[in-house]
Amino acid sequence: MNAIPSSMRANVRLKRGKEKPILRGHPWVFSGAIASLDREVEPGTGCAVCDAGGTILGHGYYNPHASIAVRMLTRGNTLFTGELLRRRLEKAAASRASILADDTSACRLVNSEGDFIPGLIVDRYGDGLCIQITTAGMERWREAVLSHLDALIKPSFVYERSDAEERAREQCEPRNRCGPVQGRIPAPLHVLENGIRYLVDLAAGQKTGMFLDQRENRRLFRHYAAERVVADCFAYTGGFSLNALAGGARAVRSIDASVRALDWAKENRRLNGYAAPDADFVDADVFDFLRNCTDRYSMVVLDPPKFARSSRDVPKACRGYKDINLVSMRNMEPGGILFTFSCSQAIDTKLFRQVVFAAAADSGRDVQLLHVLSQPPDHPVNVSHREGEYLKGLVLRVL
């Protein structure tokens, strides 16, 4: 796909003063910032974005149905072309070369706005790829993306997981597109992360099959685990549990409300040569488990799913974060280590810290901050797009 001809592009004019975020490099134009559109267009149509005086600020793609009406692709008069897409994919892949090593075979290759290709996620699993397209605009570039990835990476397989909830808001067609695109996917599919083997289910796993954004945080968790009794809350497939065992933990309990996830976690333990007794796996709501727990743990990780899907959910989410952190701190052994996370984009780093510190103040315990955590380098953030910094984490010592 080459550049979109000017006759096929829409012209979006912003309200006066609304150009400032775009001039600073923010990649989103919200519908409320738009003064006019020169014609009606289909979702994903290419567009030029102009200030109130008609000066072109850049180019992107427009969606009349989405609150994020335009996602910017370029600045100034530069057009987004197939060649520019290829160069951005090439740069993104090259920047991950140092992550893939003998002990790690999975990482994120393209991180949407963080790699200046909004609407596209590409994850590498061994010799293959899993792609996810989340916007109507990037849907129009799908064939070009696949062609460039094939030439750049030469993957043994490509699987597509374009089923994210954003596609409904974008009115993408088809709503879901999941399945093999090319090649044969190994069954079972195993990958390495920092020397630990994981079973990956591209069809049914969260995100594109695995939470790759916690790789470095799991490794740090391993560092603290020696001789500790560990509770892995919201364990999913047991990534933190495995790292605790690899770090020499005395006992590890994995807690999750999904029986299927716990079965998967058991299989991952066996895959790495660890015993997987049923008593180490608790099928329970984590809030109920923590409130009713009589055992004391010397290390706890709280890695919950997204509590706030929008700004409307923030007050309730903050109560949830405070609740689980408060009860965890109260029940920890003196000197215990707490890893606590939020993956809610609507909860920024400052607010998350305030909530956790309020829980510490109410716990009656002395608490020390040891580390401030985020997502790893293969999940880069455009510094003009703070919304891309969705993963927040703190490591605390509870005295």
Spatial CA neighbour of 46 closest among 117, 142, 137, 170: 137
Domains annotated on the chain, with CATH = 9-75 (2.30.130.10), 82-190 (3.30.750.80), 211-398 (3.40.50.150)
CA end-to-end span of the chain: 59
155: CB partners within 8 A, 6+ apart: 124, 127, 128, 129, 149, 182, 183
**Model confidence, pTM:** 0.94
- How far apart are the C-alpha atoms of 137 and 151, rounded to whole Å? 22
Tokens of 50: 């102009």
- pLDDT tens column, 19-69: 999 999 999 999 999 999 998 899 999 999 999 999 999 999 999 999 999
Which residue out of 130, 233, 318, 343 is catalytically annotated? 343
For the four alpha carbons of 392, 177, 130 and 188, in that order, the dihedral sign comes to positive
Pairing of strands 128-133, 157-162: parallel
Rounded to whole angstroms, the Cα distance separating 383 from 29 reads: 16
Is 318 annotated as catalytic? no
* pLDDT, greater one: 313 or 256: 256
CB distance 349 to 78 below 8 Å: no
pLDDT bucket at 264, cuts 50 / 70 / 90: very high
For residue 56, give the H/E element and its range: strand 56-62
